């Protein structure tokens, strides 16, 4: 396949270079369009102004507090969702009767949009951080739970019978049979949950306010119509999301280093 | 017969137990924010009347369907273009990766600033939220089409619209459906957020008005309606998915039993 002339790569065709070109091109477009008047500069500040605003933010103490606040809320929410999702998932998944009895309830609760709980979260808790955490945990919990439930049922029947004939006790079965099968599923769930949790953290900060966070900074920038700062903060939220994605993918590879799906891949 | 009974028992058992527990646990509740379930159910018919549906629920739903439809349409179109062209894909992939990482709700203040708080903004809010999952999944699906089939198409000189319709879209459809599913949940969330941040009518707006006006039982009933909307739409999606992907699930089942 690789020797066929159709698939040979020409010079200057490297994906990394093209990707960089894509980002630079996009930035250049957003610089030029407002300057020539195609987009209103009032609403679409040119890229250079956004970058200047970004560096202003970097120099501000409150900005870094907001970053730390967002990351802290995100991690707390994610941790609660992950622990609850894994524990409940393994318990429900390993008991067939429990699994059947909870199926309809899970199918009903899962699609409830998390922001529907927003007014409830606001009136139930006086501390804004707890309201935000309710949204974050509710949204990300299901991602973990569903994956773990899938994982627990995926145990190889031969391995299960082998474990039974070796008379592994319940604990050992959970440790050496169910857990290794479930872990890859759980990691997928955690990766999905991490990005959902981050979105909900920033959304909660934006809509509820009252805690230090990027979302609240955006709300403040909006009310003072500091347009370049708004764009700069949106870029920051994207960067945090990107770093979070990379970090969870990295963690997944580390935790599953023994797993065939990871072992087969070439080292990057 | 007893089998059917035990099945229905399992299906409705836990929900009934939960509701009954809630009913009795909240029965004498004096807490202002956690009214008895009875009160919430009592205010329900007075709150969600025909007039309310006409003024708030239907406008929300229409915006949701238009926004979601546009997101799916734009996502598939761009996804096919990007997915089918290797150089375009390398050019745009890192950029898309970054744009996707931006939590869609933070774009709402910008959109309101640019386009005001009219209906177009609220539809746009839904589109920018729902677009990414469809777009990225379509790119993946189109990229992953079977090479043998692709070569077969080429040797039979099947091209253009026919190739797109009968081969590319079909081969990518399982992935596209996954994206459309994610987009649906995001669209509902974006619909509510769009209405929370700037609106004069709509489902999300109504619920928040109840909250701000301390009409707590009405607010709870609104949360029920929003939750029910999510559940019903996800159910509808599952039905559509079964029809669209019938061939795929059949092929997968045959593959599994073949082993």
ipTM for the complex shown? 0.81
CA of B162 to nearest chain A CA: how many angstroms apart? Answer: 24
The more confidently predicted of residues A79 and B248 is A79
Say which of B105, B216, B227 has its CB closest to residue A203: B105
Sort B16 into a burial class: Cβ within 10 Å, 0-12 / 13-18 / 19+. exposed
Q: How many A/B residue pairs have CB atoms within 8 Å?
A: 158
Residue of B nearest to A244 (CA): B101
Residue pair A111/B234 in contact (Cβ under 8 Å)? The answer is yes
Q: Sorting pLDDT into bands at 50, 70 and 90, what band is B218?
A: confident
Say which of B10, B204, B211 has its CB closest to residue A123: B211
Share of chain A above pLDDT 70, in %: 92
Say which of B12, B99, B105 has its CB closest to residue A206: B105
A23, A28, A26: which is closest to A36 by C-alpha?
A28
Chain-centroid distance of CA B186 in Å reads 5
Residue B129 CA: distances (Å) to CA of A174, A196, B102, B123, B184: 40, 13, 10, 10, 10
Say which of B34, B105, B192 has its CB closest to residue A113: B192
Chain-centroid distance of CA A70 in Å reads 13
Testing the interface with A: which of B106, B130, B192 to mutate, by most A Cβ within 10 A? B106
Residue of A nearest to B113 (CA): A43
> What pLDDT is stored for residue B219 in this prediction?
85
Do B103 and A100 make contact, defined as CB atoms within 8 angstroms? no
Domain at A61-210+237-253, CATH class: mainly alpha
Chain A residues with beta carbon closer than 8 angstroms to that of B223: 116-117, 119-120
Which of A4-18, B4-18, B126-140, B237-251: highest mean pLDDT?
B126-140
Name the CATH superfamily, with its identifier, for domain B50-258.
MetI-like (1.10.3720.10)
Do B106 and A120 make contact, defined as CB atoms within 8 angstroms? no
> What pLDDT is stored for residue B68 in this prediction?
95
Do B101 and A206 make contact, defined as CB atoms within 8 angstroms? no
Residue of A nearest to B224 (CA): A116
What is chain A's mean pLDDT, rounded?
86
Testing the interface with B: which of A27, A73, A116 to mutate, by most B Cβ within 10 A? A116
Distance CA B229, CA B61 (A): 9
> What pLDDT is stored for residue B180 in this prediction?
92
What are residue A264's phi and psi, to 5 degrees? -65, -30
Residue of B nearest to A245 (CA): B101
- The domain spans of chain A are 61-210+237-253
CA of B90 to nearest chain A CA: how many angstroms apart? Answer: 5
Q: Sorting pLDDT into bands at 50, 70 and 90, what band is A8?
A: very low
Distance CA A217, CA A10 (A): 46
Do A18 and B91 make contact, defined as CB atoms within 8 angstroms? yes
Distance CA B136, CA B144 (A): 12
Distance CA B91, CA A88 (A): 43
Do B12 and A215 make contact, defined as CB atoms within 8 angstroms? no
Whether A1 shows a pLDDT value over 60: the answer reads: no
In chain B, the N- to C-terminal Cα span, in Å, equals 34
Distance CA A146, CA A141 (A): 9
Chain A residues with beta carbon closer than 8 angstroms to that of B13: 101
Whether A139 shows a pLDDT value over 80: the answer reads: yes
Say which of B34, B114, B227 has its CB closest to residue A43: B114
Whether B66 shows a pLDDT value over 90: the answer reads: yes
Whether A13 shows a pLDDT value over 70: the answer reads: no
Q: Please give the average per-residue pLDDT across B138-156, as a whole number.
A: 86
- The domain spans of chain B are 50-258
CA of A262 to nearest chain B CA: how many angstroms apart? Answer: 20
pLDDT digits (tens, 9 = 90+) for B187-216: 998 998 888 877 778 888 888 888 888 888
Cβ neighbour number for residue A163 with a 10 Å cutoff = 18
Q: Please give the average per-residue pLDDT across B84-103, as a whole number.
A: 88
Distance CA B254, CA A130 (A): 49
Question: Can you give the pTM of this predicted structure?
Answer: 0.85
What are residue B52's phi and psi, to 5 degrees? -65, -40
> What pLDDT is stored for residue B254 in this prediction?
81
Chain A residues with beta carbon closer than 8 angstroms to that of B97: 242, 245
Q: Sorting pLDDT into bands at 50, 70 and 90, what band is A11?
A: very low
Chain B residues with beta carbon closer than 8 angstroms to that of A227: 113
Q: Sorting pLDDT into bands at 50, 70 and 90, what band is B241?
A: confident
Testing the interface with A: which of B103, B109, B139 to mutate, by most A Cβ within 10 A? B103
Give me the residue label for tokens 């996800």: B234
> What pLDDT is stored for residue A268 in this prediction?
45
Q: Sorting pLDDT into bands at 50, 70 and 90, what band is A71?
A: very high
Residue pair B223/B207 in contact (Cβ under 8 Å)? The answer is yes
Distance CA B163, CA B166 (A): 5
Do B14 and A105 make contact, defined as CB atoms within 8 angstroms? yes
Interhelix angle A128-153/A96-109, nearest 10 degrees: 140
Chain B residues with beta carbon closer than 8 angstroms to that of A218: 106, 109
> What pLDDT is stored for residue B131 in this prediction?
93
């Amino acid at each position: 396949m690789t020797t066929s002339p159709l698939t040979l790569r020409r010079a200057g065709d490297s994906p990394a270079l093209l990707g960089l070109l894509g980002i630079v091109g996009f930035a250049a477009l957003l610089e030029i369009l407002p300057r020539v008047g195609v987009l209103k500069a009032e609403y679409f500040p040119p890229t250079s102004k956004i970058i200047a605003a970004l560096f202003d933010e970097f120099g501000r103490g409150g900005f870094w507090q907001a970053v730390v606040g967002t990351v802290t809320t995100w991690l707390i929410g994610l941790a609660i969702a992950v622990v609850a999702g894994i524990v409940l998932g393994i318990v429900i998944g390993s008991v067939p009767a429990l699994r059947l009895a909870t199926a309809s309830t899970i199918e009903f609760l899962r699609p409830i949009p998390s922001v529907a709980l927003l007014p409830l979260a606001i009136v139930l808790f006086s501390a804004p951080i707890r309201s935000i955490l309710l949204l974050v945990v509710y949204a990300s919990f299901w991602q973990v739970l569903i994956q773990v439930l899938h994982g627990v049922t995926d145990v190889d029947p031969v391995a299960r019978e082998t474990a039974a004939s070796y008379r592994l006790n319940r604990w050992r079965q959970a440790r050496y049979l169910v857990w290794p099968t479930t872990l890859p599923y759980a990691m997928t769930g955690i990766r999905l949950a991490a990005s959902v949790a981050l979105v909900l953290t920033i959304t909660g900060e934006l809509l509820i306010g009252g805690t230090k966070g990027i979302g609240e900074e955006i709300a403040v920038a909006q009310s003072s119509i500091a347009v370049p700062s708004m764009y700069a903060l949106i870029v920051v939220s994207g960067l945090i999301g990107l770093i979070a994605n990379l970090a969870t993918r990295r963690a997944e590879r580390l935790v599953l280093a023994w797993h065939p799906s990871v072992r087969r891949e070439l080292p990057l | 017969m007893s089998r059917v009974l035990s099945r229905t028992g399992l299906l409705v058992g836990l929900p009934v137990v939960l509701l009954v527990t809630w009913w009795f646990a909240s029965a004498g509740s004096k807490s202002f924010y956690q009214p008895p379930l009875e009160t919430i159910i009592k205010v329900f018919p007075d709150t969600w009347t025909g007039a309310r549906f006409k003024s708030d629920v239907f406008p929300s739903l229409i915006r949701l369907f238009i926004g979601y439809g546009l997101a799916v349409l734009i996502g598939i179109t761009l996804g096919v273009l990007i997915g089918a062209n290797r150089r375009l894909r390398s050019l745009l992939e890192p950029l898309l990766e970054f744009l996707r990482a931006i939590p869609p709700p933070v774009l709402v203040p910008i959109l309101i600033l640019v386009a005001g708080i009219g209906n177009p903004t609220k539809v746009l809010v839904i589109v920018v939220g729902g677009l990414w999952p469809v777009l990225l999944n379509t790119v993946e699906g189109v990229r992953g089409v079977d090479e043998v089939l692709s070569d077969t198409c080429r040797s039979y000189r099947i091209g253009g619209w026919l190739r797109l319709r009968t081969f590319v879209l079909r081969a990518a459809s399982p992935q596209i459906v996954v994206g459309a599913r994610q987009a649906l949940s995001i669209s509902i969330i974006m619909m509510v957020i769009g209405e929370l941040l700037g609106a004069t009518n709509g489902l999300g707006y109504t619920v928040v008005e109840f909250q701000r006006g301390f009409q707590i039982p009405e607010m709870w009933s609104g949360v029920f309606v929003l939750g029910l909307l999510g559940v019903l739409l996800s159910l509808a999606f599952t039905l559509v998915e079964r029809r669209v992907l019938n061939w795929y699930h059949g092929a997968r089942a045959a593959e599994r039993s073949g082993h």
